[in-house]
Amino acid sequence: MPELPEVETIRNELAPLVVGRSIVGVTLSDPTALASPDQQEFMARVVGKRVRSLRRRGKYLLFGLSSGRVLIVHLRMTGSLLLVPSGFPGPHVRQNTRVRLALKLDDGSGLLFIDRRRLGRVWLADVNGKHELMARLGMEPLDPAFTPDDLSEALSRRRAPVKAVLCDQKVIAGVGNMYADEALFEAGVHPLTAACEVPPEAVKRLHRSIRRVLRAAISNRGASVDTYLRPDGSPGQAHSEFRVAHRLGEPCPACGTEVERIMIRNRGAYFCPRCQPRKGGRGSGV
DNA sequence: CCCGGAACCTGAAGGC
DNA sequence: TGCCTTCAGGTTCCGG
């Protein structure tokens, strides 16, 4: 499921292939993929425009168009963006994949929005390039401006489980279920700890581990635990370095204790009960 | 405002 | 073999 490292990887690998290209055709094969505006307006405002930039904010991909408008994509659970060299369906696109939106580019290539569970969405922002979705997002965790004090401040206001707060996009934009588990493990913090009760030293470790985990995953091109694929259709490798995420019953890499899984906010939370004790302690998670 | 749970969605996996 | 249920989780919505 695409989180910040996956979306960043897509941005990194897609940018050189689409920036500078013009969009010569649009096929909206699943109209529910489009959140706004309506289909006619969307078509009219996308066809013929050049892609001027490709950026990421949180888990959103932002295609800056020559008109000043911004095409916004959120992949949610199972979305992928594939760039096929030529033609629309593309030979290496599996039959059971579900193409919801296809953009044909002026070099004959096709940008396909694939999304098995159909939860992803596409928006087109106004000419000023702003969109209310972006205003709801918290800080970028890899931005140098994001400090331990920022994290401390955010956590101090919340009594919910720290895991839930880390996944709250209003707090930190881009962290989701997998990387929250990984960061909490590295910091030796139990995921159910009330956010405001995480000790100051642990908050510092958490700030560091969030960034370390995200950067490592980006250098591994994202985690292909479910349906995530890079734009050329190849998987990422970040999941091979997961310490606890999706490793129920496997030995903790630090102490050998079996990794456990509990539910927090209806999501699976993986952790080591020994390295991430419920109360205070340091934990041995590197 | 904060918090927790349901809904959205569908293919995979497991039970009988 | 096949039908049925459950599960996965990013975001939004709703009730307390």
Q: What is the tens place of the pLDDT at every residue in A164-205?
A: 999 999 999 999 999 999 999 999 999 999 999 999 999 999
In the predicted model, is pLDDT for residue A230 greater than 80?
A: yes
- Residues A36-90: pLDDT tens digits? 999 999 999 999 999 999 999 999 999 999 999 999 999 999 999 999 998 555 5
Q: State how far the Cα of A82 lies from the Cα of A78, in Å rounded to an integer.
A: 13
Res. A6: pLDDT tops 60: yes
Candidate list A158, A211, A267, A282, residue with the active-site label: A267
- A188: amino acid identity, one letter: G
For residue A59, the model assigns a pLDDT of 97
Q: Is the pLDDT reported for residue A284 higher than 90? A: no
A59 is catalytic: yes
Q: CA-to-C1' distance for A109 and B6, Å?
A: 41
The full DSSP string for A205-274 is HHHHHHHHHHHHHHHTT---SSS---TTS----GGGG-SSTT-TTSBPTTT-PBPEEEEETTEEEEE-TT
Q: Is A186 a catalytic residue?
A: no
DSSP lists the bridge partners of residue A22 as: A50
**Global pTM value:** 0.94
Those nucleotides of strand B lying less than 7 Å from any protein Cβ are 2-12
* A130 annotated active-site: no
User: Which nucleotide does the CA of A76 lie closest to, via C1'?
Assistant: C10
Instruction: Say whether A3 is catalytic.
Output: yes
Q: Environment class of residue A278 by beta-carbon count within 10 Å: exposed (0-12), middle (13-18) or buried (19+)?
A: exposed
Most trustworthy range by pLDDT among A76-85, A127-136, A273-282: A76-85
Using only C-alpha atoms, chain A has a radius of gyration, in whole angstroms, of: 20
Stretch A148-159: mean pLDDT, rounded?
A: 96
Report pLDDT for A96.
52
**pLDDT > 80? residue A279:** no
Q: What is the pLDDT of residue A194?
A: 97
Amino acid at A207: H
Which nucleotide is closest to A98, CA to C1'? B10
For chain A, what is the mean pLDDT? 92
pLDDT-derived band at A254 (thresholds 50, 70, 90) equals very high
Residues 67-126 of A with CB under 7 A from strand B: 77, 96, 98, 116-119
Identify the pLDDT of residue A226.
82
Q: Are A183 and A155 in contact (CB under 8 A)?
A: no
The pLDDT > 90 percentage for chain A reads 88
Q: What is the band of A283 on the pLDDT scale with cuts at 50, 70, 90?
A: very low
State pLDDT tens for residues A79-131.
999 999 985 555 445 545 689 999 999 999 999 999 999 999 999 998 766 78
Q: Which of A27-31, A84-88, A187-191, A274-278 has the lowest mean pLDDT?
A: A84-88
Show which positions of strand C are touched by protein (CB under 7 A): 7-12
